[in-house]
Structure 1
Amino acid sequence: MVASNGSLIEFSGPLGRAIVARLILAEGRPVQSETLIDELWGERAARNPVNALQVQMTKLRTSFAARGEEGRLEMRSGGYRLVLSEHDRIDIVEFENHIRRGRETLGQGNYAEAEEGLRDALALWRGPALQDMTGFVFDAARTRLEELRLTAHEDAVTAGMKLGKAEDLVAELSHLVAAHPLRERSRGRLMLALYHCGRQTEALDVFRDGRNLLDSELGLTPSPELDALHVAILSHVPALGGPGGLPGDTQQVPRKTQGNLPVPLGSFVGRADMLRSLREEIGRQRLVTTVGPGGVGKTRLTLGALSQLGSDAGVWWIDLVTVGKDGVLSALAAALGLSESSVTADQRPLNPLERIASCLRERKAILAFDNCEHVLDETAFVVKRLLETCPSATVVATSREPLNTAGEVLFPVEPMAPEEENAPRRNDTALSVWFSTGATPCSAPPSNG
């Protein structure tokens, strides 16, 4: 729902609401008319979809104008954009800001503030994300938001554990594991919470149940991280903290180093604003492609952004410059350390794409494909399948041409030159946008916390 100064703006029909939602997801960037038609019309019958889009835009302008929001819709560069200002409030943006601050304070060891901030983020949810919105672009956004919600929940629990609240968190974690039984991060926290309550046997049972489920559903074994936690609980490793006591530094539990990101040579010079913008896009989107002519610095810029992310996700770099036809999957499998020997005789055989998807499905990962223009079609196919089957995966690509895959966000890179200032247009009024429904809007928006 969209409100102006506490008053709802009514849009006619589901298509009009979907267009507004799509433009808000673009966060003020233009969305091409062809993209809107492809993403939102779908199976809807329309003799002239371009004309149908124009009709919808006329209706939307009328709806905005009725609430004193003239000029909110702009046509630019062959597409449409929703003009946003610093006064506007979007619940998705607020949700992500709370999460970012919560994770920062968690990393700084300020557990009480981190738990409060992360719980504030979770409290913004008042129903399913993007409810009643259909189409692959909304499905992708919904998947990303649900993953953020889950990781925020797990991070809030982590902060609570550090504050000695293990006993209070067992029921909450049990519910999380029941709702997402293949999610190892939640399972590991439940094991640790039970252990700190003096319930070691139950903690080991939780591991055994997860191991059996992974084997029966996917033909896989637990991750090295979960297996290491299992061994630590069996051995009463002091780093876990004793039963009934505060947890110690669980980072001392052996973990497999994830990722193969090359270390950039020297410091990154210039393009500070572009580097920051790319880093923020990667944190927000599931598929970001830096596009531009050869030699413009796409690879160096992407490496710089990825090296500064500060994410707990593993980052894998896949260079496609020497890859031949049908070689993208092999290059990805090699980067992940997967081979035919990684499938044991007692596991059901999986094709290469299924094996890669099984490896990544429940793990946070950033896959960076470099020089995609050499194998554009195959890369686009692989990326599409991975984003559909691996909700915790993010893909970053460098290419001279777009992948033209659903949900792709293009990040143009041009030769280094003085950047033009393009200040956003500001309105005197402010919009409040709430994508999760289920509550009656208040006359005053909720506090930023």
Structure 2
Amino acid sequence: MDFGILGTLEARAEGRRLSIGGRRAQLAMAALLLRPGRVVPVDQLMAVLWEDWPPASARTQVSIVMSGLRRTFRAAGSESEIIETRDAGYRLRSERVRIDTLTAERRVTEARRAMREGRTVEAARGLRAALALWRGPVLGGLDVPGFAAPIRRWEELRWRMAEELAEAELALGHHHEQIGDLTSLVAEAPYNERVRALLMTALARAGRQADALAVYRDGRRVLDEELGLEPGRALRELHAAILRDDPAVGGPDGPARPAPGIRPAQLPQAVASFTGRRAEMDALDSLPPDRDRGSDRHLAICAITGVAGVGKTGLALHWAHRAATQFPDGQLYADLRGSRGEAGGDGPASANVVLQRFLRALGVATADIPDDPEEQAAMYRSLLQGRRMLVVLDDADSAAQVRPLLPGSHACCVVVTSRAPLEELIAHAGARPLPLAPLSRDAASELLRRVAGDALASASPAEIDHLAEHCGRLPLALRTAAARLAARPRPAGDGLPAPRHEASVEALEACGCG
């Protein structure tokens, strides 16, 4: 059986529309459909059916309504119970029926995954299919207070999907086709600045800059007169970009083209109180290519590897900031999330998703980025050809993840960090291995002193060395332990207590290094 609430309440059995019954039966069925697979308590059903004043016989009448619904579904050919009684309530067995809301959620999830992975055509197709499930206002004609919040949730999802579809279509270069739909959306929600920006972008790319500017002026007037607000920063910046004919917006009958002079500077902040690693810094200093060498030079790659918390990222970023002036064309950075799977997270980043981010950072409009991952990689290599650029790929999962992100130009330099040994990258791409060991005893103690500050002022060298050893001389554990000590005020003259000081123990447990 099929049920729908994305419009008027609807039930079908083998394609034939069913009459659910009177208003109370419809309200009860809608309450179950809004919480598919979950128990809806009888008290909640009573509140929906009678709002503030349920009669004394309300519980009995709820039971009668449910029995009537079950008879309707059995008469329509249902071979199993769709509604079950459980825990002083009723549950719609969602595994035995099809519901338009669950279909919409599945389609939008698949479409968003496709968009993240660069399959824009597939994403747009999925979003269109999801939006097509809406037949009108959610549960049209069944307006009761108990339905307000879930109805609002589904209407907000419809809006988000409409926005995401418009973005996908613009990315595909379908700006002419989107103008009509976006105009209607702006009229329906004049305060929605995201939709207004999409309409302005579509008009600008269609060569209608004057109309795009008029859309901005109208939005600014509405916000000022009705809310007393100015447009947000993103909308103001888009307006300014259209005024100056910025290539990043796009010209007549075409999406945006790479803007000249783009120099990305994506390096995150370097770690504070960096300590030790002189030999490793020297090795990295010898990495950048010599501009006077011939064209036979291979791409310079360094693979910094080691266990969790050993300071791979800290070393990479400390050196990258120091060496940034050697790369006048910019620095690209990506967290490849290679260790996320181990921590139960989202898992490693897709290489072609990272490629798309890099291409946008290099000035390529989303609409100009190919859907095919191999074409994306080829465009990336073409844009970096002959440019002196540093690429930092942090927390790589494997050589396979890194390989599409390598420039082809020997003028570039790549630094990769990973818990894995990346032997394939070393063997086939010529990466220089730089395995990290824990800090030396002196460096570990120095790092504790620098981060903890006055908290260790009265501690003896033996006590500090003992704490460093308990931290495994791993920079992450050392920093965490020192930070916890620094954050805990202690009486004057109090040295570091016994080696298993509770601050260091908690720090070690938090880092998984105890």
Pick the TM interval, shorter chain. 0.5 to 0.7
CA offset at residue 270 of structure 1?
9.0
CA offset at residue 128 of structure 1?
2.5
CA offset at residue 193 of structure 1?
0.8
Alignment RMSD (CA, Å):
2.8
- The aligned counterpart of 1:83 is 93
CA offset at residue 232 of structure 1?
2.0
> Is the aligned partner of 1:151 residue 2:160?
yes
Residues 422-442 of structure 1: per-residue CA shift (max 9 Å, x gap):
xxxxxxxxxxxxxxxxxxxxx
- The aligned counterpart of 1:101 is 110
- The aligned counterpart of 2:82 is 72
Name the aligned partner's letter for residue 33 of structure 1.
V
Structure 1's 56 and 176: CA in aligned 2 closer, same or farther, altered over 3 A?
Answer: same
SS at match of 2:248: helix
Name the aligned partner's letter for residue 90 of structure 1.
I
Give, in whole Å, the separation in 2 of the partners of 1:249 and 1:13.
Answer: 61
Structure 1's 29 and 118: CA in aligned 2 closer, same or farther, altered over 3 A?
Answer: same
CA offset at residue 268 of structure 1?
9.5
Residues 9-52 of structure 1: per-residue CA shift (max 9 Å, x gap):
43221111111121122111111111111233215662322222
Structure possessing the higher relative contact order (Cα contacts under 8 Å, 6 or more residues apart): 1
- The aligned counterpart of 1:340 is none
Name the aligned partner's letter for residue 94 of structure 2.
L
- The aligned counterpart of 1:31 is 40
Give, in whole Å, the separation in 1 of the partners of 2:258 and 2:36.
Answer: 39
Asked if the contact 2:41–2:88 (Cα under 8 Å) also holds between the matched residues in 1, the reply is yes
Give, in whole Å, the separation in 1 of the partners of 2:188 and 2:340.
Answer: 44
The answer to which of 216-225 and 227-236 deviates more is 227-236
Structure 1's 215 and 138: CA in aligned 2 closer, same or farther, altered over 3 A?
Answer: same
Structure 1's 3 and 211: CA in aligned 2 closer, same or farther, altered over 3 A?
Answer: same
- The aligned counterpart of 1:231 is 240
- The aligned counterpart of 1:112 is 121
- The aligned counterpart of 1:184 is 193
- The aligned counterpart of 1:321 is none
SS at match of 2:81: coil
TM-score by length of 2: 0.46
Structure 1's 268 and 116: CA in aligned 2 closer, same or farther, altered over 3 A?
Answer: closer
Give, in whole Å, the separation in 1 of the partners of 2:340 and 2:160.
Answer: 32
SS at match of 1:80: strand
Residues 137-168 of structure 1: per-residue CA shift (max 9 Å, x gap):
32222222222222212222211112222122
Instruction: Give the length in aligned residue pairs.
Output: 259
CA offset at residue 204 of structure 1?
1.4
SS at match of 2:178: helix
Name the aligned partner's letter for residue 28 of structure 1.
G
Structure 1's 79 and 158: CA in aligned 2 closer, same or farther, altered over 3 A?
Answer: same
- Please say which structure displays the higher CA radius of gyration: 2
> Is the aligned partner of 1:124 residue 2:133?
yes
- The aligned counterpart of 1:203 is 212
CA offset at residue 206 of structure 1?
0.9
- The aligned counterpart of 1:141 is 150
Give, in whole Å, the separation in 1 of the partners of 2:59 and 2:248.
Answer: 62
SS at match of 1:240: coil
Structure 2: tracts of 5 or more residues without a match: 1-9, 265-338, 346-514
Residues 256-287 of structure 1: per-residue CA shift (max 9 Å, x gap):
xxxxxxxxxx9799999xxxxxxxxxxxxxxx
Structure 1's 105 and 125: CA in aligned 2 closer, same or farther, altered over 3 A?
Answer: same
Asked if the contact 2:27–2:48 (Cα under 8 Å) also holds between the matched residues in 1, the reply is no
Residues 375-402 of structure 1: per-residue CA shift (max 9 Å, x gap):
xxxxxxxxxxxxxxxxxxxxxxxxxxxx
CA offset at residue 54 of structure 1?
1.8
TM-score by length of 1: 0.53
Asked if the contact 1:162–1:247 (Cα under 8 Å) also holds between the matched residues in 2, the reply is no
Structure 1: tracts of 5 or more residues without a match: 255-265, 273-449
Structure 1's 237 and 63: CA in aligned 2 closer, same or farther, altered over 3 A?
Answer: same
Give, in whole Å, the separation in 1 of the partners of 2:169 and 2:177.
Answer: 9
